Amino acid sequence: MIICIDVGNSNIKYAVFDGDEPRFTFRVATDLKKTSDEYGAQLITMLQINEVEKGEISGGIISSVVPSLDYTIVHMLNVYFGIQPKQIAPGLRTGLRMRADNAREVGADRIVNNVSALRKYGTKRPIVVVDFGTATTFNILKDGEFIGGVIAPGIKGSLDSLVSGTAKLPRVEIVAPKSVIATNTVTNMQAGIVFGFAGLVEYIIKRIGRELGETPMTIATGGFSEIIAKETKCIDVIDKMLTLNGLKYLYDLNCSEEGK
């Protein structure tokens, strides 16, 4: 079995693959203060709950946008599982062509999402991958190449900023209210966050299509993808496993290269 780990600013997502199929997935909050022992105990507990022995894990791969946690997670896998994981970093083969001023600046999660989207959805038409994570990222693919993107504020971060920057606004659940014409503080805030981000996505996708000269296929992933997708018609597919499936593909790709 192979473990795939996506370390994000807000959450760490895990998937254990048995062959090509995920045996189970789970996520935990990203915590910079946790030690490798704490992360190891947490992971072993989840394996036990899902009836997987730690000795069954034979390899792993990590995508991380939190450099300060890289050593912690790698060390945890070294000590508790006896494996040296592959990492999404320069030198790892991805097969992704990139039109970027500095390819090293492109986040590991974006690289994995792009590779995964091209592999699963093909290259017949342009693709935009929208990842609703700590940041809202738009990744534009054309003819099998990453040609650029957009980075916007994240949904949760925007709400946190609104609450922390005001004296009387409460923290609210991120759900769509029944109407954009809201009648109390909570639904006013929900309308602004959910419908506001739906409008942001619609405009950016429309603008991308205009600059490309054709309407792209839009794939949404990340924690808030379903909430926003319900409020707009520009999202074609919701793929919550895009990153983790991409990691498994890249693990297999690099193992096959090493075997040659």
The answer to whether residues 172 and 189 touch, using CB atoms and an 8 Å cutoff, is: yes
Per residue in 58-114, pLDDT (tens digit) is: 999 999 999 999 999 999 999 999 999 999 998 899 999 999 888 888 999 999 999
Per residue in 37-61, pLDDT (tens digit) is: 999 999 999 999 999 999 999 999 9
Q: Is the pLDDT at 260 greater than 70, yes or no?
A: no
CA–CA dist 220, 30 (Å, integer): 22
Per residue in 202-214, pLDDT (tens digit) is: 999 999 999 999 9
Active site residue 109: yes
The model's pTM: 0.92
Q: Is the pLDDT at 259 greater than 60, yes or no?
A: no
Cβ count within 10 A of residue 194: 21
CA–CA dist 173, 207 (Å, integer): 30
Catalytic annotation, pick one of 109, 131, 143, 252: 109
Domains of the chain: 2-87 (3.30.420.40), 97-245 (3.30.420.40)
Supply 59's token pair. 């390899």
Q: Is 46 left (phi over 0), alpha (psi -120 to 50) or beta?
A: alpha
